[in-house]
Amino acid sequence: MNITHTRVITFSPTHTSLRVATAVARAWQDLPNDILDLTCRQLKSPIRLANDCLAIVSVPVYAGRVAPLALTRLKNVLGDATPAILIATYGNRDYEDALVELRDVLTTQGFLPLAAGAFIGEHSYSRPGMPIAEGRPDAEDCAKAEAFGREARRKGESVGTLTPFFIKGNVPYRTVGTPTPQAPVWQEDDCTGCGTCINSCPTMSIRMTDDGEVLTEPSTCIKCCACVKSCPTGALTFDTPYTAMLHAKCSARREPELFL
């Protein structure tokens, strides 16, 4: 394999998938690198990555699968026997079938998996007083991500042809029910009207009325909590019983799982 440059490709509403991918990419910091962030962007026409590019594809886990909008955004990213590192970032509960799903989708789109990893990121529903994997990926996770990148690089340099390898997860993938529409709650008294929430929303579901009221369209909200976490004054919250449940049941620290 002759890699001349790397490209991080991500969908990452609360930035944890992006941070993990950036740490993995450090293993190739002697080569040119760029980032294709699809969080708030749908490519209008397909791009095809050549096989001298290493793709580092990092997406969040929603309900044990790849976040659906990440798959939609990835549809226009094609490979041409392009090596890829696959990363699923999850909120310390479980990643179930997300990594095998990512493998299958990217393989169909022309990529050749080189390595895969499940990493832990602060849960989208984590909040002050009820933390879930708060602050992750932390320095230890990022060091592991970089070491994983170095190991993947060694593998890429030592094998002539990439062949399938074990990745944890099941096919058929777990079934996910239809989500119930819900949107974050806005507290007028805490809002400064800065508009950060509007710009952070991957589905453009948030708008501000002429009176300064912030409204979110529940039917298109994907509950990613980008708006909640980007609000500088905490004026948005996402109320779900999952927060307390995950805080109670998923507090034991999980560690990254790596497949090469």
Ligand X SMILES: Cc1cc2nc3c(=O)[nH]c(=O)nc-3n(C[C@H](O)[C@H](O)[C@H](O)COP(=O)(O)O)c2cc1C
Distance (Å, whole) CA 47 – CA 240: 38
Number of residues that bind ligand X (CB under 6 A): 24
Considering the rule CB under 6 A, would residue 194 count as an interface residue with ligand X?
no
- How far, in Å, are 54, 70, 183, 204 from residue 40 at the CA level? 23, 10, 18, 8
Considering the rule CB under 6 A, would residue 121 count as an interface residue with ligand X?
yes
Residue 12 or 230 having the CB closest to ligand X: 12
Residue among 123, 127, 144, 247 that touches ligand X (CB under 6 A) = 123
First to last CA, the chain: 16
For residue 139, what are the contacts with CB-CB under 8 A and spacing of at least 6?
Answer: none
Considering the rule CB under 6 A, would residue 205 count as an interface residue with ligand X?
no
Distance (Å, whole) CA 138 – CA 122: 9
Min separation Cβ 102 and ligand X, Å: 13
Residue among 6, 7, 17, 153 that touches ligand X (CB under 6 A) = 17
Q: Which of these segments, 76-84, 119-127, 195-203, 207-215, binds ligand X (CB under 6 A)?
A: 119-127
Q: Which of residues 92-111 bind ligand X (CB under 6 A)?
A: 92-94
Min separation Cβ 15 and ligand X, Å: 5
Considering the rule CB under 6 A, would residue 90 count as an interface residue with ligand X?
yes
Burial class (CB in 10 A: 0-12, 13-18, 19+), 107: middle
The structure tokens listed for 220 are 């298109």
Min separation Cβ 212 and ligand X, Å: 27
Distance (Å, whole) CA 7 – CA 5: 7
Considering the rule CB under 6 A, would residue 223 count as an interface residue with ligand X?
yes
Considering the rule CB under 6 A, would residue 13 count as an interface residue with ligand X?
yes
Min separation Cβ 136 and ligand X, Å: 8
Burial class (CB in 10 A: 0-12, 13-18, 19+), 42: exposed
Phi-psi region of 182 (alpha: psi -120 to 50; beta: other; left: phi over 0): beta
Considering the rule CB under 6 A, would residue 60 count as an interface residue with ligand X?
yes
Min separation Cβ 131 and ligand X, Å: 12
Residue among 7, 9, 15, 227 that touches ligand X (CB under 6 A) = 15
Considering the rule CB under 6 A, would residue 64 count as an interface residue with ligand X?
yes
Residue among 12, 200, 216, 230 that touches ligand X (CB under 6 A) = 12
With vertex at residue 22, the alpha carbon angle to CA 17 and CA 23, rounded to the nearest 5 degrees, is: 100
Considering the rule CB under 6 A, would residue 79 count as an interface residue with ligand X?
no
Q: Which of these segments, 182-190, 193-201, 208-216, 218-226, binds ligand X (CB under 6 A)?
A: 218-226
With vertex at residue 26, the alpha carbon angle to CA 42 and CA 164, rounded to the nearest 5 degrees, is: 70
Query: Which residues in this chain contact ligand X in the complex, by CB under 6 A?
Result: 12-17, 60-64, 89-94, 121-124, 223-225
